[in-house]
Structure 1
């Protein structure tokens, strides 16, 4: 178990990140994005390398509409707690570990919504949700006229370690998000602001794509 949090600078940053995550958590809960204690949030704390990093993550099984002193805990690059605690990290912390390792991002937000689950099933056969020419694609810093992106979809296994290599295989450096089939979206960014921006953009695009399919009668 790491002793990193004993560093006063790291402690100060951890407390700042807990506050920032608390604000994001309250915002997302107010939008109904954490039904039944689902979803999870994380932010990196301190220095980063692909082999060694630390991040704050939501504790498992908590009501995310409530704010308590035990909403978050600090874990290492393997998803193990860095400090003595009775809290358990989210069951999906290993997915966060892999996304941090592969992208070097600073924040990852995972939510469940009706539209992201619907499109993950609607486009499961092609393993990606196609989005064509919608203005909000620019939220991902893609500025091509009539840009086209495919948001990857991976299988959702009960055994979380089985999902990790699927995520690795499907990560697209242009697209800061990945869907688990009938489960939800993981979106990330350099910091909490960018991760939230990306998540909001994905949710808009998923609703757009789904409604467009209805209009076209497909």
Structure 2
């Protein structure tokens, strides 16, 4: 199915859901300085051809405008004539969709996540020891030892993609860009949001636990 064949009602539904998620995350101050990006896939999927709505580049995500989102294809190219540009990190979304078949991908910035990614950069993953919210990631093993992958963050965004491809763990629905932010995904927007919220709880938990271990204040 080509993008033009997708019913307008489905396109509007995706735009409405993206705005709903954007407003929810903005309420938690997860979009500082226009940072962060959201996407939801639409229509049929194959690794060779798919489409998704994604945040436009450089927009204030604490405001709502008719130009907040744009539809792109598997090569991050706009599906319709437009003066808008997709987020610079759209190529990361395309790779995650291609490798996972996800239905939605959400990327935000938080202080706890950025700090803990740098703290554990030497091991290239964030270790999590049996925290309850691991279940929010659809991992139900008792006292599971989770490792959240961390990848390099480059100004030239396409240079990040090969490392993401290498580090993706089929069991972990997220990957962290060093000193930057989490990319979390799921089968749909509801699941991706649940995964992202679970990761964010885990990052704060790990940070505070490490401070306690060192006898330091946690706030």
TM-score normalized with structure 1 length: 0.96
CA contact (8 A) 1:10 1:45 kept: no
CA RMSD of aligned residues (A): 1.1
Q: Which residue pairs with 2:88 in the alignment?
A: 91
Q: Which residue pairs with 2:158 in the alignment?
A: 161
1:6 corresponds to which of 4, 7, 20: 4
1:171 corresponds to which of 162, 168, 173: 168
Q: Which residue pairs with 1:31 in the alignment?
A: 28
Supply the distance in 2 between the matched residues of 1:182 and 1:136 (Cα, whole angstroms): 22
SS at match of 1:130: strand
Alignment: residue pair count: 215
Q: Which residue pairs with 1:192 in the alignment?
A: 189
1:48-80 C-alpha deviation (Å, 9 max, x unpaired): 000000000000000101111111000000000
Q: Which runs of 5+ in 1 are unaligned?
A: none
1:82 corresponds to which of 71, 74, 79: 79
Supply the distance in 2 between the matched residues of 1:5 and 1:130 (Cα, whole angstroms): 41
Supply the distance in 1 between the matched residues of 2:137 and 2:143 (Cα, whole angstroms): 14
| Structure 1 residue 144, shift from structure 2 partner | 1.0
CA contact (8 A) 1:4 1:82 kept: no
Are residue 67 (structure 1) and residue 81 (structure 2) matched? no
Moved over 6 A (4+): none
Are residue 214 (structure 1) and residue 211 (structure 2) matched? yes
2:118 corresponds to which of 116, 121, 130: 121
SS at match of 1:18: helix
Supply the distance in 1 between the matched residues of 2:137 and 2:80 (Cα, whole angstroms): 35
TM-score normalized with structure 2 length: 0.96
| Structure 1 residue 196, shift from structure 2 partner | 0.2
